[in-house]
């Protein structure tokens, strides 16, 4: 994967200005006074134009396509960037704080899952980390679904580790054979809600675990996640709507937990910002 060329001085200064303004507005949104005042900044015509220019790509959008078009004018690189792959390759060697609830509830599943569909699983870093903690059996199948560039990097990593239990797929159809559908830090990178993604399957998995997922109490919102060298469209889902959608499919929420190590905040949208990510374990009734 090629690393994009360094942007011009003007572009770098503009991006720095956008990030500085976004930080200020996010901090203001943490106060009760400004929390109720900030939404008016995006509705009054003059203020909307002023902050629209100042925030550039750090705002709310109607679709992922619109968000991607805006983002690419400033930083064209997305998930295919080398830094994304390097970060997840590094994470394969350790368990994060937010992994412990998953490991705990994984062990509570009566019959351990033998086929796992890792939705948006990058290079398979969660497989390697969990294998060290749980010790997966030799006949386990771990299927990772991601974009072609990342699947290629994942296959190279598996070859380096001489690991045959993990494979990389380019279709959601493969999820129909899994016992556990795992979305670890990936749901917000997909515009379709979780229940709509699962509804496409010929067979619903018994267990669904969504970890490291940004949710909010206000309206769902599409925004941009700024990862410095690459930026990507992201969606913060309304918590109640996410759970209700899964219940429509026949799932029951067994447990949920907070992920304090991550946050995703949207300037001028404090009601739809996410102070802490969340995790969910659903079981098909």
- CATH no. for residue 273? 3.40.50.150
Q: Report yes or no on 270 lying in a domain.
A: yes
DSSP single-letter state for residue 264: B
Confidence of residue 213 (pLDDT cuts 50, 70, 90): very high
Residue 81, pLDDT score: 74
Residues 206 and 26: their CA atoms lie apart, in Å, by 39
Which range is least confidently modeled, 35-39, 88-92, 281-285? 88-92
Residue 2, pLDDT score: 47
CA distances (Å), origin 65, targets 3, 77, 139, 262, 285? 22, 15, 40, 25, 36
CA distances (Å), origin 56, targets 21, 69, 73? 10, 12, 10
Q: Report yes or no on 12 lying in a domain.
A: no
Q: Among candidates 204, 201, 223, which has minimal Cα distance to 268? A: 223
Predicted confidence (pLDDT) at residue 88 exceeds the cutoff of 60: yes
Confidence of residue 5 (pLDDT cuts 50, 70, 90): low
Q: Are 185 and 212 in contact (CB under 8 A)?
A: yes
Predicted confidence (pLDDT) at residue 6 exceeds the cutoff of 70: no
Q: Report yes or no on 15 lying in a domain.
A: no
Which range is least confidently modeled, 24-33, 79-88, 174-183? 79-88
Predicted confidence (pLDDT) at residue 26 exceeds the cutoff of 70: yes
Question: What's the mean pLDDT when you consider all of the chain?
Answer: 92
CA distances (Å), origin 186, targets 45, 79, 122, 237, 283? 35, 11, 9, 12, 19
Secondary structure E strands in 82-140 = 115-119
Q: How many CB atoms lie within 10 A of CB 90?
A: 10
Tens-place pLDDT, residues 92-138: 788 999 999 999 999 999 888 999 999 999 999 999 999 999 999 99
**pTM of this structure:** 0.91
Number of domains in the chain: 1
CA distances (Å), origin 84, targets 119, 123, 168, 214? 16, 10, 17, 19
Beta bridge partners of 213: 278
Q: Report yes or no on 240 lying in a domain.
A: yes
- The answer for residues whose C-beta is within 8 angstroms of residue 118's C-beta and 6 or more apart is 124, 126, 127, 142, 143, 144, 145, 182, 184
DSSP single-letter state for residue 191: S
Tens-place pLDDT, residues 221-274: 999 999 888 889 999 999 999 999 999 999 999 999 999 999 999 999 999 999
Backbone angles phi, psi at 216, to 5 degrees: -140, 170
Residue 80, pLDDT score: 75
Q: How many CB atoms lie within 10 A of CB 2?
A: 8
Strands 180-184 and 141-145: unpaired
Residue 34, pLDDT score: 86
Domain residues for the domain of 245 are 82-284
């Amino acid at each position: 994967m090629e690393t994009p060329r360094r942007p011009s001085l003007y572009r770098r200064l503009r991006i720095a200005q956008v990030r500085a303004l976004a930080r200020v507005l996010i901090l203001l949104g943490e106060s009760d006074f400004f929390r109720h005042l900030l939404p008016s900044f995006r509705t009054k015509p003059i203020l909307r134009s002023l902050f629209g220019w100042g925030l550039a790509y750090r705002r709310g959008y109607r679709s992922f396509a619109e968000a991607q078009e805006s983002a690419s004018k400033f930083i064209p690189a997305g998930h295919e960037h080398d830094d994304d792959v390097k970060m997840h390759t590094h994470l394969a060697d350790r368990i994060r704080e937010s992994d412990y609830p998953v490991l705990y509830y994984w062990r509570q599943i009566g019959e351990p899952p033998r086929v796992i569909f890792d939705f948006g699983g990058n290079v398979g870093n969660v497989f390697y980390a969990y294998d060290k903690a749980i010790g997966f059996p030799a006949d386990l199948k771990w299927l990772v679904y991601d974009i072609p560039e990342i699947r290629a990097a994942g296959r190279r990593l598996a070859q380096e580790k001489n690991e045959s239990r993990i494979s990389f797929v380019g279709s959601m159809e493969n999820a129909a054979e899994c016992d556990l559908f795992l979305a670890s830090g990936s749901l917000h990178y997909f515009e379709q809600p979780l229940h709509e993604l699962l509804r496409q399957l010929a067979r619903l998995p018994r267990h669904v675990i969504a970890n490291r997922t940004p949710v909010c109490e206000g309206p769902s919102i599409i925004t941009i996640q700024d990862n410095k060298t690459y930026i990507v469209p992201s969606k913060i889902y309304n918590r109640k709507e996410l759970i209700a959608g899964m219940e429509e499919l026949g799932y029951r929420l067994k447990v949920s937990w907070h992920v304090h190590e991550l946050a995703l905040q949207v300037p001028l949208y404090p009601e739809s910002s996410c102070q802490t990510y969340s995790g969910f374990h659903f079981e098909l009734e």
